[in-house]
Each structure stands twice: as C-alpha cells, then as structure tokens.
Amino acid sequence: MADTRTATLIIDGKSYDLPMRSPTAGPDVVDIGKLYAQAGVFTHDPGFTSTSSCDSSITFIDGDKGELLHRGYPIDQLAEKSHFLEVCYLLLYGELPSSTELETFEHTITHHTMIHEQMHNFFRGFRRDAHPMATMVGVVGAMSAFYHDSTDVNDPRQREIASHRLIAKMPTIAAMAYKYSIGQPFVYPRNDIDYAANFLRMCFAVPAEEYKVDPVLARAMDRIFTLHADHEQNASTSTVRLASSSGANPFACIAAGIACLWGPAHGGANQACLEMLREIGSTNRIPEFIERAKDKNDPFRLMGFGHRVYKNFDPRAKVMKQSADEVLDLLGIENNPTLQVAKELERIALEDEYFIEKKLYPNVDFYSGIILDAMGFPTSMFTPIFAVARTVGWVSQWKEMIADPALKIGRPRQLYTGATTRDYVEIENR
Ligand code: CMC
C-alpha cells in the first residue's frame, strides 16, 4: 500500500508537505526531491550524515544493533556457513544459488581470472616502488581499453560480462601489482583451486618450486573477502554510483571506487592501523597514543577504531577477531610485539571513558591487518585486498543502479560562500 504520510516543513510561515517513505528496515525517509521546485530552497548535509541517496535492496546495516545483512542474511551466518563466491552470487542476483547455479557461477568466475596478456606491459610501465593501489587504479581503469565488448552499459548482457570480469580479474590484478613491486615473476591463476587459494598462490608462489596453499589460511583469506564484500552506501560505493550515473563504463567507475577506498578514513585504515601499531611499538607507549587520540588539538586518531554507522560494535570485527585467533594459532604467533600492542590497545580503549562515550569500538580494519600481517602480506597490500573483496559490492550496486528506470545523473547542490558578481580588474589595476 502506498505511504500517504507526509512531513511538514515550515519556511517563513509557509508550510510544505513532503512525502514520506518507509523502508523494509531502518528509519523512514522524507522525500525532498521536489522541495527546490516547490519552496526554492536546498537541504544541506555535507558528509551525508542524514541523507539517503538511493533505493537499494542489497545490504542493510543497523548501526545501533551492530547488524549487517546481505539480502537479509546476517554476516556472521554467511561468514560461518557460506563462502565468498556464494556471497558474490547472493549480492549480484538477490538469492542464494542452487548447487547447479553455484557450480555454473564458480566455473564462469574461474574461467575469467586471466587478464589480457598485453596488460602485462601496462604493469611494467609503473615504477617498482609504486603503491599497489596506485597500480590497481591505473590497470582497472585500463580494462576499458582491453574489454570493449563489455563497456556498453545499456546492454544487460555486457553488464553481466563486465561484472564477472571485474570479480574474476581483480585478485589477478592485485597479485600482479604485488609481484611487480617485489621484482618477482607474475604467477598465472589456476582453474583447479578456489578463489581465495588462487589469490594466495598468485601472491606467494614462485615458478622455481611447488607451492601448496594451507587450507586454514585459504579459509581465513576467504573469510576476509566475505567480510568485506559489501557495506551499502559507503564512500567508495557512493563514488562508483556517482561516477556511473553519467553512463561511464564499468571499468572506469570501479577504478574511481578503488581510488576512493584508498583513503585512510576508509579502506586505507587497515594499512594505517598496522603502521600505527608498529609505531606504538611497545605496550608502555600506549597511554601516550591514547592521550593524543583524545587531544582536540592533535589530528591523530586511533586507526581501526570508530565507524560512521556502527555505534555498538562492528559485527565484521567480531568474526575477524575469531579468525585472527585461528590464524595466529596455526602459525604459532604468540609473542609478536605488534600483536601484544594490539591486544593491550583494544583492552585499554574499550575501558576508556572517551572511547565509551563516543562509542568508538575496534572496526573490521583493526583485526584484518593483524591476520594479513601474519600471513606474510606487506602493509601496502592490505587495502588492495579490501578492493578485491569490495569489487562485488561495487558491481552489485552499480548493476542495481543502472537497471533502475528512475536513474538520474547524480548532481549535488551547494551552499555557495564565495564572492558575488564583480567586474574583471585589468592586471595593471590590481
Ligand atoms: N580516534 C579518536 N577519536 C575518534 C576516532 C578515532 N579513531 N574516531 C572518531 N573519533 C572522535 C572524533 O574526534 C569526534 O569527536 P568530537 O565529537 O569530540 O569531535 C567523534 O569521535 C565522532 O567522530 P566523527 O569523525 O564525527 O565520526 P565519523 O562518523 O565522521 O567518522 C570514521 C567515522 C571511521 C571516519 C572515524 O571514526 C575514523 O576516522 N576512524 C579511524 C579510521 C578508521 O579506522 N576507518 C575505518 C572505518 S571501517 C572500514 C571502512 O568502512 O572503510
């Protein structure tokens, strides 16, 4: 039944009735789409703290309850019972696959993992010391120059192929960026091992010897991918949506998402967090860093703490912490100084009045860095791994948006604070 409720806005004594809409979960929204036409005013919400930007049926977060649902399924159940490619199918198509559907999907993704051989030359154009995220932004953007047959966004079949290519090739691209940075030969993907194991192999194998992927590490890698797969309208996803709203091709739009993810307030936090733990160095220096985080005049923040939406706990962090324990146990890592600092920092921050009052809890990036470090990844690879996992989220949200007949180019307004009209002044008169 159509929602007939309205919200009334009074401006200078004149009332405007604004339609309200109810979601299946989460707060109601006031639709202000016609406000400017009716009242000649804009709304103002930098950072989108109270503004919904689209209709979406993919992912739902309840920040107060610490709940994350993909197509209705809780993330902890997916992390425990499912695996990354099944979650990819769920995000892309809306339902869990039957066994035949899953088999076909896995076969399709596996058989798209190789990249065009000429793209190898593209990697070689970068400096060896380039950050792998810089390389990924370039190479993923360049996919539009290699896969012309999947750039027409108006063709549903081309959109489908582009989605599969992006999910399949992203681990290959991330692993190649890493291999290039350490001067080792690229390792081609294999069709006889799964997505996560393939990624570990492409990162850590060398042609000189056999490489066997440890199943516990492959499972941990798969879980990291699953936990990062989608997170509704976060900064990088909103970037992908905004870029695609102009009709730009999917590879260019996902490259824009990767660029946004790189920042330390978003996906770059996992690298920044581990670097912070190393900088703290020993547990006796923790109070100094806690004081800095609380000091209003110091821009320093405890990386891996806090979240725009989660104000209770980050459900991904809960699973990630358990996974970190399993991996460290397997690898026999107990007295690593970074780990000791992490454990003590977590304990102190969770008891500290400042962090309790501001609802700052360890987020997913706090624990993922610890696992990836233990697996042997350098910190510069942490954010590329996040990008590999988030690709399915970007792609699913992109597909949802493009298929929406109500699609409009995204074009925010502004509250202008600059000079009003003035006449040009000749240079000799300035
Ligand atoms: N350390 C110290 N103080 C903090 C922190 C922190 N990590 N995070 C927030 N605060 C304080 C902040 O100073 C502010 O205080 P006040 O109200 O006195 O001005 C208050 O808490 C609210 O902060 P905010 O910046 O208004 O909150 P936000 O929702 O805009 O920011 C955040 C969310 C994730 C950007 C922020 O918490 C942060 O910078 N955390 C560190 C970076 C990080 O770990 N990011 C990864 C997020 S999870 C993965 C992902 O989504 O990419």
Nearest CA to ligand 1 atom 32: 307
Strand ordering across the sheet containing 14-21: 6-11, 14-21, 29-30
Site of tokens 């920040």: 63
Annotated catalytic residue, options 194, 307, 314, 373? 307
- Inform me whether the pLDDT recorded for 254 exceeds 70: yes
The pLDDT value given to residue 365 = 87
Please give the average per-residue pLDDT across 309-322, as a whole number.
88
Report phi then psi at 60, rounded to 5.
-130, 135
For the chain, what's the residue count? 430
Point out which residues pair with 61 in neighbouring strands.
68
pLDDT at 3 over 80: no
Residue 127 has pLDDT above 70, yes or no: yes
Phi, psi of 350, deg, nearest 5: -70, -20
- Could you read off the pLDDT of 205-230 as tens digits, one per residue? 999 999 999 998 999 999 999 999 99
Q: Would you say the CB of residue 303 lies under 6 angstroms from ligand 1?
A: yes
Q: Report the pLDDT value the prediction gives residue 24, as an integer from 0 to 100.
A: 96
- Tell me the per-residue pLDDT of 392-405, one tens digit each, with 9 for 90 and over: 999 999 999 999 98
pLDDT tens-digit series, residues 20-76: 999 999 999 999 999 999 999 999 999 999 999 999 999 999 999 999 999 999 999
Annotation marks residue 373 as catalytic: no
Out of 129-138, 181-190, 192-201, 339-348, pick the least confident. Answer: 339-348
Neighbours of 49 (CB within 10 A): 7
307 is annotated as an active-site residue:
yes
pLDDT band, very low/low/confident/very high, at 428 (cuts 50, 70, 90): very high
Q: Taking each helix axis as running N to C, give the angle between helix 215-227 and helix 315-330, from 0 to 180 degrees, rounded to the nearest 10.
A: 170
The Cα–Cα gap between 304 and 287 comes to 17
Q: Give the number of the atom of ligand 1 that is nearest the alpha carbon of residue 231.
A: 51
Q: Looking at the predicted structure, is the pLDDT value of residue 335 above 80?
A: no
67 C-alpha to ligand 1 centroid (Å): 19
Give residue 306 CA to ligand 1 midpoint distance, Å: 5
Phi then psi dihedrals of residue 14, to 5 deg: -100, 135
DSSP assigned state of 395: H
Q: Is the distance from the beta carbon of residue 308 to the nearest atom of ligand 1 less than 6 Å? A: yes
Ligand 1 contact, 350 CB (< 6 A): no
Assess whether the C-beta atom of 311 lies below 6 angstroms from ligand 1.
no
Cα 159 versus chain centre, distance: 21
Average pLDDT, the chain: 94
Q: What is the dihedral of CA 380, 381, 383, 388, to 10 degrees?
A: 160
59 close to 230: Cβ distance less than 8 angstroms: yes
- Of these residues, 194, 222, 314, 365, which one is catalytic? 365
246 phi-psi bin (left φ>0, alpha ψ -120 to 50, beta other): alpha
pLDDT for the residue numbered 379: 94
In this model, does residue 329 exceed pLDDT 90?
Answer: no
Structure confidence at residue 1 as a pLDDT band (50, 70, 90): low
Q: What is the pTM of this model?
A: 0.93
Least confident of 103-117, 125-139, 315-329: 315-329
Listed in sequence order, the residues at least 6 apart from 62 whose beta carbon sits closer than 8 Å to its beta carbon are 25, 26
Question: For the chain, what is the radius of gyration of the CA atoms?
Answer: 23
